[in-house]
Chain A
Amino acid sequence: GAVVSQHPSRVICKSGTSVKIECRSLDFQATTMFWYRQFPKQSLMLMATSNEGSKATYEQGVEKDKFLINHASLTLSTLTVTSAHPEDSSFYICSASDLRDWGTDTQYFGPGTRLTVL
């Protein structure tokens, strides 16, 4: 149980284009979904927290107009990197909290999406 999928797993795009990454909880309903960014040999950097049907809460220093997050249902959240530039190249990982684990703060992670902007 508690499986999270991400799509695509890898994407290469040209500078200036927008890229959408999907995060789905496959066998549970997610109260909250999180989006992280990870650079090589570094820990996870939280970008934003989203709850179904409400606006995402962004961490300090994360541009909300550049990283658009939509949490359309209890099983789907999307991250859109708008007008991507080479410095946006990174490993993006989503996670989700299972409604049944409410109060434990346990997060289940997706496999990640590697974005390369040329």
Chain B
Amino acid sequence: QKEVEQDPGPLSVPEGAIVSLNCTYSNSAFQYFMWYRQYSRKGPELLMYTYSSGNKEDGRFTAQVDKSSKYISLFIRDSQPSDSATYLCAMSAGSQGGKLIFGQGTELSVKP
């Protein structure tokens, strides 16, 4: 079993839809949670960072962490074609020299 599970998709939604992306994990020591967006043939771009449980909002993006369920989510409101990319969740326990454990990535396509 992988430490971090993420549905690879692909996920296709119409423009304007609310998108929900999720990851589950097995290591209860994880306390730092990140979402990265990666466009094709580019490096990942940090979207959201959350420490421990709770919600964090930034514009159209909301990150949620539920440590009791070992489940994290990223919501995208009013999705745009420019949001079409692969979204990677990443997390760490803060005790392994800064190493991140990544999910497989979910490929999202927002259709105009």
The reply to whether B99 and A49 form a contact with Cβ atoms under 8 Å apart is yes
Asked whether any CB of chain A lies closer than 8 Å to the CB of B61, the reply is no
The reply to whether B32 and A105 form a contact with Cβ atoms under 8 Å apart is yes
Tell me the smallest distance from the CB of A42 to a CB of chain B, in Å.
7
Given known contacts A44-B88, A104-B32, A104-B49, A109 and B100 CB-to-CB distance under 8 angstroms: no
Asked whether any CB of chain B lies closer than 8 Å to the CB of A93, the reply is yes
The reply to whether B99 and A108 form a contact with Cβ atoms under 8 Å apart is no
Asked whether any CB of chain A lies closer than 8 Å to the CB of B34, the reply is yes
Asked whether any CB of chain A lies closer than 8 Å to the CB of B94, the reply is yes
| Residue positions of B touching A, CB distance < 8 A | 8, 32, 34, 36, 41-46, 49, 51, 88, 90, 92, 94, 97-100, 102-105, 107
5 nearest CB pairs, A to B:
A109-B43, A105-B92, A112-B43, A109-B44, A111-B43
| Residue positions of A touching B, CB distance < 8 A | 2, 4, 6, 31-32, 34, 41-44, 46, 49, 57, 91, 93, 95, 97, 103-112, 114
Q: Pull 29 A–B residue pairs with CB atoms less than 8 Å apart, ordered by A.
A: A6-B43, A32-B98, A34-B99, A42-B105, A43-B88, A43-B103, A43-B105, A44-B102, A46-B99, A46-B100, A49-B97, A57-B97, A91-B41, A93-B43, A95-B44, A103-B94, A104-B32, A104-B94, A105-B92, A105-B98, A106-B46, A106-B49, A107-B98, A108-B46, A109-B36, A111-B42, A112-B41, A112-B42, A112-B43
